[in-house]
A and B are shown apart, each in its own frame.
Chain A
Amino acid sequence: MFKLDRKSILIGASAFASTALLFTGCLSSSTGVDEKASAPSNAITAPSTLGEYAIKNKTAIDGGVTYVRANGVETAYAYNQQSTKGVSFGRRATPNEIKAWDLDALPDGTGLPEGEGTVEEGDELYEAQCASCHGEFGAGGKGYPQLTGGNQSKDENGVVITLKNQRVYGKTDAPKRTIGTYWPKATTLFTYIRDAMPYAHPKSLTDNETYAITAYLLAQNGIKIDGEEMDEEYALNKEKLVKVVLPNNNGFYPNIDGPNGPENVRAFFADRAKNIGAGVRCMKDCKDPGGQDGKTEAGVVKIKYEMSDVVPPYSTVRDLPPEVEDKTVSKAEKMYNQSCKLCHATPQMGAPAVGDIDAWKDVLAKGFDKVVINAITGMGGMPPKGGNEDLTNTDVKLIVEFMVDSSKEKH
């Protein structure tokens, strides 16, 4: 839910700057007073009082200056105070526009849609639409983010090894940021998948499907809900999702949630030396951290010995090697090499590999034309036109013909 209370201003300062404009027309000048009378009823009119405008003593949450606006609100951004006479602020968003935009969900469940999906259904969907990028069981390994793993189990002392604790217990590996070790809230998982995944066609999943995939990923991360293990039949819905407590729920500091959030952050940054390391903000004549007294010299590190005996020698020329036209390579093959080979040369990416006769027999079972359409519109891990929007539909057809021809039994 979008809640523009005074407190969130400090956290989402830049977002606020633009939304504030939209909602209150805060750039008003005192001359804007009687615009109200003549404006259409849904036009945004400027409030009549001019905000007092000064740099306050209190620092912004990250230690920077703050500016005071009207009615006691402060922000980290200075507003442009020019007269806005004649500036159109547009019209108010309609309730339907707001509804279409206002899709996020709070950890308490506000904003989550109704719906239900089981771990097993999620497994099927995951396999078809996500595994090609995120790996089997969410284990990663295909160059895209890992969604499980990181050993978020309990260690020998009974401590859940979340991101916060992964280093403490003697491991030298970098912490793995997965749902089970890093994410604080499960509701975000739902909205993230619904709004952003699968990568090539976001927003294509229904709410039920999204609940199913969320259930699957939580199960793969070994999450229990209300003490209950999530087996294959486990059906996830709004009520149950809200009950999920992810292992790293309390791994973030300072606590930015709730009305005290900004003050917590301010206190945290106020003690920079302890919480972040010594140092003051500095844009010129900076001394090294030890030099806060202004005496120590700047600790800028420079390269002492330039390496010059490299082969081939360093050069600033940026030409690519001249292209040699290879007459034996068809246009289709060239386009294939440029836009498709990356994924289709081997089966590693989950794509039917060119030359794999059986794989292409399976693909062609649905008919050549349908396959061409799939290549154009994308499917599963296959982005539309292989991600190259510049290809025409005819180009794609030519390439698919080439791929099919190269994957036939040779006599």
Chain B
Amino acid sequence: MAKMKIKAKEKKGVVKVKAMFTSLMADKEEAEKKKIKVDYIRQIVAKINGKVVYEVTTSGFMAENPLIKFKTKGGKKGDKIEFTTTDNNGKTATSKKKIK
């Protein structure tokens, strides 16, 4: 399961979000080479108050423990931002963080 680190900060109506996900991001090719299990995050979705503010399809092209950053106007201090990742086996993981 992918562990994540989230940081979200609001300033003048803009929320700056940074998040990092623990994953080897090993696609089939890389996994065969390294003799490990295929293991990568397929999709990352971020929601604030239930509304999607960020969504991205990912794969082995991203480095191990990928880091993403984005800005959104869809939230304010005190709101919760919720990230959900889906891995190559369809397993999901969710984590929440208060916007500061």
Contacts A123-B7, A137-B5, A220-B5 given; indicate if A149 touches B65 (C-beta within 8 A): yes
- B residues 12-68 near A (Cβ < 8 Å) are 18, 20, 22, 24, 33-36, 63-65, 67
A222 to B20, CA, bound (A): 13
Chain A to chain B: the 9 pairs with minimum beta-carbon distance, closest first? A170-B35, A137-B20, A172-B34, A137-B5, A136-B18, A149-B65, A171-B34, A170-B36, A139-B67
Do residues B67 and A149 form an inter-chain contact, with CB atoms below 8 A? no
Contacts A151-B24, A153-B22 given; indicate if A136 touches B34 (C-beta within 8 A): no
Do residues A139 and B24 form an inter-chain contact, with CB atoms below 8 A? no
Contacts A123-B7, A137-B67, A139-B65 given; indicate if A170 touches B34 (C-beta within 8 A): yes
Main secondary structure of the interface of A (DSSP, over half): loop
15 residue pairs A–B, Cβ–Cβ below 8 Å? A136-B67, A136-B69, A137-B5, A137-B18, A137-B20, A137-B67, A139-B65, A149-B64, A151-B24, A170-B35, A170-B36, A171-B36, A172-B34, A173-B34, A220-B5
- A residues 119-177 near B (Cβ < 8 Å) are 123, 135-137, 139, 141, 149, 151, 153, 169-173
A139 to B23, CA, bound (A): 13
Do residues A151 and B22 form an inter-chain contact, with CB atoms below 8 A? yes
Q: Count the A-B residue pairs with Cβ separation under 8 angstroms: how many?
A: 36
A169 to B24, CA, bound (A): 13
> Which chain B residue shows the least CB distance to A146?
B65
A377 to B79, CA, bound (A): 38
A10 to B77, CA, bound (A): 58
Chain A residues within an 8 Å CB radius of B35:
170
The minimal Cβ–Cβ distance linking B11 to chain A, given in whole angstroms, is 10
The minimal Cβ–Cβ distance linking A169 to chain B, given in whole angstroms, is 8
Given A136-B67, A153-B3, A170-B35, 12 new contacts (CB under 8 A): A136-B20, A136-B69, A137-B5, A137-B7, A139-B65, A139-B67, A141-B63, A151-B22, A151-B64, A151-B65, A153-B22, A171-B36
In the complex, which of the residues B20, B33, B65 contacts A172, with contact meaning CB atoms closer than 8 Å? B33
Do residues A139 and B20 form an inter-chain contact, with CB atoms below 8 A? yes
A136 to B67, CA, bound (A): 8
A135 to B65, CA, bound (A): 13
A189 to B71, CA, bound (A): 33
A171 to B35, CA, bound (A): 7
The minimal Cβ–Cβ distance linking A362 to chain B, given in whole angstroms, is 10
Chain A residues within an 8 Å CB radius of B67:
135-137, 139, 141
Chain B residues within an 8 Å CB radius of A172:
33-34
Chain A residues within an 8 Å CB radius of B3:
153, 222
Contact string, A372-403, partner B, CB cutoff 8 A, digits 1/0?
Answer: 00000000000000000000000000000000
Chain A residues within an 8 Å CB radius of B24:
151
A169 to B37, CA, bound (A): 11
The minimal Cβ–Cβ distance linking A181 to chain B, given in whole angstroms, is 13
The minimal Cβ–Cβ distance linking A81 to chain B, given in whole angstroms, is 57
- A residues 214-240 near B (Cβ < 8 Å) are 220, 222
A123 to B20, CA, bound (A): 15
A350 to B59, CA, bound (A): 27
A63 to B46, CA, bound (A): 59
The minimal Cβ–Cβ distance linking B23 to chain A, given in whole angstroms, is 9
Chain B residues within an 8 Å CB radius of A135:
67
Chain A residues within an 8 Å CB radius of B7:
123, 136-137
A173 to B33, CA, bound (A): 10
Chain B residues within an 8 Å CB radius of A139:
20, 65, 67
Chain A residues within an 8 Å CB radius of B69:
136
Chain B residues within an 8 Å CB radius of A171:
34, 36
Most chain B beta-carbon contacts within 10 A, residue among A123, A137, A149, A151: A137
A386 to B8, CA, bound (A): 30
Chain B residues within an 8 Å CB radius of A169:
36
A136 to B33, CA, bound (A): 29
Chain B residues within an 8 Å CB radius of A222:
3
A123 to B27, CA, bound (A): 32
- A residues 43-86 near B (Cβ < 8 Å) are none
Most chain B beta-carbon contacts within 10 A, residue among A136, A151, A153, A169: A136
A287 to B24, CA, bound (A): 44
The minimal Cβ–Cβ distance linking B3 to chain A, given in whole angstroms, is 8
Chain B residues within an 8 Å CB radius of A123:
7
